[in-house]
Amino acid sequence: MFEIGGSLAAARKGQSLTIADAERLTLLRGKYLKALEDDDFRALPGRTYARAFLRTYADALGLDAEQFVDEFDARYSQPEEEAPVALFKPHRRRIGTRLVLVLVVAAALLGGLLWSMLTPTGKVNAPAQPPVARPAPPHHRAAVAPPPKPVTRPAALVIRAKSGPCWLLVRRGGPAGAVLYEGTLEQGNVKTFVPRVWVRLGAPWNVVVHRGARVVGGASTSNPINLTA
């Protein structure tokens, strides 16, 4: 069976990302990302938000988001509305002597009213026309706003110093953009950037560059290179 949470956690760890890195990448709270990795969907605000958060997280990790959403729908289908249950049982009341007396008095009053409507010639006066009922104004239900759509972010650019140190210069957008990072990435360390960025690698043979689950080609050369991703 396809594992939802386990696959998300494995993809995140395979890119050397922490929960905090994933939180900055997806703009979702870390506790919700952890709940998705643990298959604890009850910790999310609701089923609609769970599907939206799952799609956003899978997209950010470079995974097939539709596969994750389809698996979630297959496991947790939309619950049907339950039929209302009566809280009280109806019961019959016995007609007492007082109710019989009230009915007799009402019948007598109705007979007197009809007799008073008789004219001296023995004809019955035409009853007054009842007032015309006006239709009640239509009841407008308040519109319910749909849940906000999550913002889909591109997969992060991950640079990991695998074989040795590498000097980096990272700028926003292109070679003339604002400097995001400048320094030496020591062996075993990782830097993560949100595209689009321009990168100058001083020792590309010492690093492995990923964008999501895809390895960026052209970095394993023997000369300093520039990358735009």
What are the tens digits of pLDDT across the range 12-45? 999 999 999 999 999 999 999 999 999 999 999 8
Quote the pLDDT of residue 217. 61
Q: In sequence order, what are the beta bridge partners of 5?
A: none
Residue 53: pLDDT over 60: yes
Mean pLDDT, the chain, rounded, equals 78
Quote the pLDDT of residue 219. 55
pLDDT (tens digit per residue) in 81-114: 433 433 333 444 444 566 757 676 677 777 666 6
> Any residues with CB less than 8 A from the CB of 71 and at least 6 apart, and which?
2, 4
